[in-house]
Amino acid sequence: MPDPLDGLTPAQREAVTHPGGPLLILAGSGTGKTRTLVARFAWLVERGEAPEALLALTFSTPAADELRGRLEEAIDRPYEELCVSTFHGFCARLLREEALEAGLDPFATPVTPADRLAMLLERIDELPLRVHDLRGNPAALLASLVRRIDRLKDELVTATDYGTWAAGLEEDDEAARSRAAREREFAELNRDFQRKQREFREDLNQRRNEELAQVVELANRVIRQIAEQEKYDIIFQDAVYANPRIDITERVIKALDGKPAAR
């Protein structure tokens, strides 16, 4: 196998041969961050680290598949299984394997955004929407609202917090009044949506009872309880800039590893 350092720039070589501890790589798109991660992974394996003891997390399924392939090509020794996954995928696997620790049904599967969009469409006449225009293509509007709700959960903003913020918006002119009305209406929808979660889940299936947006927070609780069982020597997180869930992912990684992630 080629030397992992071949073809790297001096800065990349410095990152690959980092002696230990947290490491953050800041660079623009297409500058070789993932290549550096792969090289460091291979460099560590050459120096005796077990490949299965290294956890690599990235932001999408295609990116995880590509990263896994590149790591497999870079490693020239036997290993059981590489731990390469999306962040949500890793947390969902952890919840499946440690469901009892989280107080969950071990056969539970997440409620997806598409599931919740279908639920909203079925109850469209019950939704507290007056300012938002549902004419024409209500599915597109409701899908955008589901994405906003998920983003708020990812950023740990509660429905109450958002409602308080919306209530305080200024109304100095017509544009500001229009924006404030839309945000307050969205805040009302968000509160109503949260209240109806139990009903929504029962409509889908008792087993599909956790939203993707809640998987990470639940996994964080589980990791704190089983920290000694689920341990990785080194954690890589690729493409931090593409992941809006920085705060909560940092919490999970610190809980899992006991220190900030190497990226």
Query: Same domain, yes or no, for 81 and 37?
Result: yes
**3-state SS record for 182-204:** HHHHHHHHHHHHHHCHHHHHHHH
How far apart CA 195 and CA 17 sit, in angstroms, is: 51
Asked if residue 3 belongs to a domain, the reply is no
Query: Same domain, yes or no, for 73 and 202?
Result: no
Q: Which residues contact 61 (CB under 8 A, 6 or more apart)?
A: 86, 89
Query: Same domain, yes or no, for 180 and 202?
Result: yes
238: Cα separation from own chain's centroid: 12
CATH number of residue 44's parent domain: 3.40.50.300
Asked if residue 154 belongs to a domain, the reply is yes
Query: Same domain, yes or no, for 90 and 123?
Result: no
Query: Same domain, yes or no, for 218 and 203?
Result: no
Query: Same domain, yes or no, for 156 and 218?
Result: no
How do the pLDDT tens digits run along the chain, 263 residues long? 678 888 889 999 998 998 877 788 887 778 888 899 999 999 988 888 888 888 888 878 888 899 999 998 888 878 778 888 887 788 777 777 776 766 666 666 666 778 778 888 888 888 888 888 777 788 998 899 888 888 887 677 888 999 999 999 998 899 999 999 999 999 998 888 877 766 666 665 544 444 555 666 666 666 655 544 555 666 676 765 444 444 445 555 555 555 444 44
Q: Are 222 and 251 in contact (CB under 8 A)?
A: no
Asked if residue 262 belongs to a domain, the reply is no
Asked if residue 68 belongs to a domain, the reply is yes
Query: Same domain, yes or no, for 179 and 229?
Result: no
Asked if residue 201 belongs to a domain, the reply is yes
Query: Same domain, yes or no, for 147 and 75?
Result: no
**Residue range of the domain that includes 157:** 110-208
